[in-house]
Structure 1
Amino acid sequence: MITSIFSKSKPINFLVVFIITLATFFIAHLKYAEGSGLSTHYVRYFFVFLASFSSILVLDFLVSKNKLTQKSSYEILLYALFLMALPQTMLNDNIVYANFFILLALRRILSLRSQLHVKKKLLDAAFWIAIASLFYFWSILFICLIYAALFFHSNNNLKEWIIPIVGVAAVFILGVSYSIIVYNDFFTALNIFPSVSLEFDTYNTLQYIIGVTLLISFGIWSSVFYIRTIKSKKNDFKPAYKVVLVAALIAFSIMILSPKKEGGEFLFLFAPLAVIITNYLETIQDKWFKELFLGLLIFVPFGLLLLEFLAKT
């Protein structure tokens, strides 16, 4: 029953996802944020939530536009469930905004499939990634995704390989100019000297252990089948599927390098992982197993919230 509801894209699916996202947003700020100012800084949090839900809409658009799934809505449901499994991902405003811009960049990178207006798309993608890095520095690693896409498309045009550097340089110049005007300093606004932390003690809680285990285990299992199915895709679409896989690897690297292990660093992983797991869901022939697989993905986030509620009462 659950799988049949989201097996096709319907308006009701977006409503369900919106409710899950909104509920998760309030839960995150009321139960996990220290000194949450939802009532006093409602304008700020409105834009944070808007960026969170807009990310889901962008994900749905790029998936349907590039035929990354079979016209289902599983990917947006999974994205919302990942948020619920790790509500801390909605606490860091900068990461929420950075993730939104990365998805905009991913949309332009995937659209290289058409081989139309390639230079403009490369410049746009680099620009959005550079903007994202102003909010969260390590998102600059997604610049590698542009070059991966060029490699997958067998693009040998040297000028087009240089264009992403121009896009990043443009944002860098704008950032330096802003920093000089506002801070009377060259690099304060850019934060180009980020720290790295390999301390994972923050994740040593039941909520993190279960939530992260869910993401990693289901992600790895689905990735095995995802890689196998790439060979069966049409040649025009193979690069897009490979780009999604590389995006997941970059997101995982950001999670490892993140200087503050607060949960928000997982947000970059949600979109590519949702696409990968959706592809696996769509290949499952046994209806009972598909229901069980999706049921676990739904039950665990709700179960975690219930456990947290019982633990604090």
Structure 2
Amino acid sequence: MISSFFSQSKPINFVVVSIILFMVFGITRFMMLDTPTDTFSITKQTLLFGVCLFSVFIFDFLVNKNNLTKKNSYKILVYVLFFAILPETLLNPNVLIANLFILFALRRIISLRSKKEIKKKLFDAAFWVTIASLFYFWSILFFILILAALIVYVITDVKNWLIPVIGTLTVAIIGASYMIVMNIDIYNFFTNLVDVSFDFSSLNSKRIIIGATILLSFGVWSLFYYIKNLKSKTKNSRPSFSLIVIAAIIGLVIIVVSPVKDGSEFIFLFAPLAIIMTNYLEVISEKWFKESLLWVLILTPMITLLL
């Protein structure tokens, strides 16, 4: 039974999830891209897969470290299955890298609840979000999550509110210096970087429509129970769970404003939705229902591959 196998957190679970991710990554790159088989291309694809796999590791670490779910492997299974449901997220290298940096930032943001090394964590979070924005500009919206963390964790020292700005300026200064040395036109770079579109016609494909519908339907349904169960969480942990909801909302906004809507922009929803869905799976008492939900997530990408 799928639900029983992933109900615990063991190394074998991570191995299985890694194999699933490898298969999804390989099939996606083979079917959707005309990738050459020279040494450079193979090395590039290997590095990109490494980015995807490392993102799973970071996601698992931040969830376990901050007790955002119970000790199980549902979260990483759901996270990887989201890639399978919307494989377009694996086609854009810049988005994959930006998502990894956002996970770095999310790890530092959630850990603010300990009230230890606040300045360092705020600097790191802003630093990673700003770097992510250089690869995918609209990931800069996760800066809102830093401000939200300052509010929900009741961090009132004015100096702490200035730290994220310093983190962003650090990246800006380093980036500008690099562009000057490399003779890169800074104005043109940022002009091309900042763009917005509300044209969703490019998402009009059966695979993306089905994948997005499954993702959002399960997400909204799980969110209802997630918010309902917030009252049962300890007072100290509620702010962290609230930040996950805000992160999901930011992910939705990125989908809406994304200038190039090719499906890859959905990746920023994966981490918060995986946490929300895992919390829902943990409270389902009917084992058959939990099993059914997981099988829907598993079978959906198999069905969409035939379309």
- TM-score, normalized by the shorter chain, greater than 0.5: yes
Output one character per residue of 1:119-154: Cα deviation in whole Å (capped at 9) or x when no partner. Answer: 000000000001101111111110000011111111
Deviating more after overlay: 183-192 vs 64-73: 183-192
Distance in 2 (CA, whole Å) between partners of 1:37 and 1:139 is 30
Note closer, same or farther for the CA distance 1:138–1:82 as it changes in structure 2 (3 Å cut). same
Gaps of 5+ in 1: 309-313
Q: SS of the residue aligned with 1:183?
A: coil
Please state if 1:145 is matched with 2:145: yes
**3-state DSSP class of the match of 2:162?**
helix
What are the superposed Cα offsets for residues 191-227 of structure 1, whole Å, 9 maximum, x if unpaired? 5751111111122111111100000100000001101
Match of 1:36 in 2: 35
Report the AA paired with residue 304 of structure 2: L
Q: Percent identity?
A: 49
Instruction: String of CA shifts for 1:28-62, please: whole Å, max 9, x gaps.
Output: 211112x3235441222211111111000001001
What corresponds to 1:73 in structure 2?
Answer: 73
Corresponding residue number in structure 2 for 1:294: 294
- Counterpart code for 1:32: M
Instruction: Spell out the pairing of 1:78-89 with structure 2 (5 A cutoff).
Output: 78-89=78-89
Which shifted more, 197-206 or 60-69? Answer: 197-206
Q: Distance in 2 between matches of 1:204 and 1:63?
A: 34
2:6 aligned partner: 6
Superposed, 1:1-313 pairs within 5 Å as: 1-33=1-33, 35-37=34-36, 39-40=38-39, 41-190=41-190, 194-305=194-305, 307-308=306-307
Aligned mates of 1:189, 1:176 — CA distance in 2: 10
**Structure 1 residues 161 and 258: alpha-carbon distance in aligned structure 2, compared to 1, 3 A threshold:** same
Query: Taking structure 1 as reference, are residues 189 and 195 closer, same or farther at Cα in structure 2, changes over 3 Å only?
Result: closer
Report the 3-state secondary structure (helix = DSSP H, G, I; strand = E; otherwise coil) of the residue aligned with 2:186.
Answer: coil
TM-score, normalised to structure 1, is: 0.94
User: Shift in Å at residue 190 of structure 1?
Assistant: 4.7
What do residues 144-190 of structure 1 show as CA deviations (whole Å, max 9, x unaligned)?
Answer: 00011111111211111111011001101111111111134334455
Moved more, 99-108 or 292-301: 292-301
Q: CA deviation at 1:302?
A: 2.2
The residue identity in structure 2 corresponding to 1:108 is R
Per-residue CA distance 1:9-41 (angstroms, 9 max, x = gap): 0111111111111111112211112x3235441
The residue type equivalent to 1:88 in the other structure is: E
Structure 1 SS opposite 2:79: helix
CA contact (8 A) 2:85 2:297 kept: no
Provide the TM-score with structure 2 as the length reference. Answer: 0.96
The answer to whether the 8 Å contact 1:82/1:301 transfers is no
How many angstroms does 1:231 deviate by?
1.4
| Aligned residue pair count | 306
For the 8 Å contact 1:27–1:87, the answer to whether it is kept is: no
Provide the aligned C-alpha RMSD in A.
Answer: 1.3
Paired residues of 2:8 and 2:73 also in contact (CA < 8 A): yes
In the alignment, which residue of structure 2 is the partner of 1:311?
none
| Of 193-202 and 260-269, the range deviating more from structure 2 | 193-202
SS in 1 for 2:234: coil
Rounded to whole Å, the distance in 2 between the matches of 1:251 and 1:118 is: 25
User: Matched residues in 2 for 1:282 and 1:193: separation?
Assistant: 41
